[in-house]
Structure 1
Amino acid sequence: MSAKNNNFDRKIRTDLNDFKSIWVRAIKPNSEWNEKDDFLDVIYWSRQVIGIVIGVFMGIFPLKGFIALALFAVINCGIVYFYCTSFQSIDDEAYGGMWEIIKEGFMTSFACFLVTWIIFYTGIHFDNVSQKIMH
């Protein structure tokens, strides 16, 4: 039983070291990515954070409608494009082209954005919205 626990503890430590290594490479410019999936995981999870941050911002400042949706797409894709080409200087052909990188995690990021945007917009500006409906 003790050997089983040691293997489990060793696996957890290895996974944590891999996790730290990936995120250290993510914030270091021009990192070398031996595993394509590691870089795509960084893009995916970073994009979720970007979606939430943009949702909070657009919810606090009452942006709404098509302009807010288009602005989200431009900002989100622009940040990912800049990160890949300028900060990491990756060869996009190794990942199937820039379009494959740009669309990695976009829809889940969009969902995170929508939920956050709706919650913050409604929570902060509910009085304004309800007054417009009443009149």
Structure 2
Amino acid sequence: MNPNANVSLFNFNGHDVRVVEIDGEPWFRGADLLTNIYGTSQGKAWAYRPLNPSEITMIDRINLGMKAGRALTFVSESGLYKMVMRSDKPEARQFQDWVTREVLPSIRKDGGYVLGERARCGILSTPSHLLDHPATPPTTTAAR
């Protein structure tokens, strides 16, 4: 694995998530994920146990342009999804609902998911926290 020393920052619910690129794929800083999902990274190492060894890696700080010290834990994209899907926090549930109610059914039905595809039909296609603005919930009509 060859980590790209450029660290990108993404904001999720007001918290930064550091991301590095390894072999063209995003890897997410484990402590940032734990803070977002559980409110803290302290004492949450158990959250990594369900991950496949290929979904977690340790990167030396020096490889990221930092001072020497303890290696940092990074989680692959599939590992990120597993961690979020196992959480019962309301913030994680918004993401879970989006994946299970829109993305996966769209893949099953259409063979793929296009961001915004369902928005043309008047249905929210991404969770409002990903859009950085409040969303109006979709309206429903009773079957006649």
TM-score (norm 1): 0.21
* Relative contact order, higher structure (CA 8 A, sep 6+): 1
Q: Rg: which structure is higher?
A: 1
| Larger strand share, 1 or 2 | 2
| Larger helix share, 1 or 2 | 1
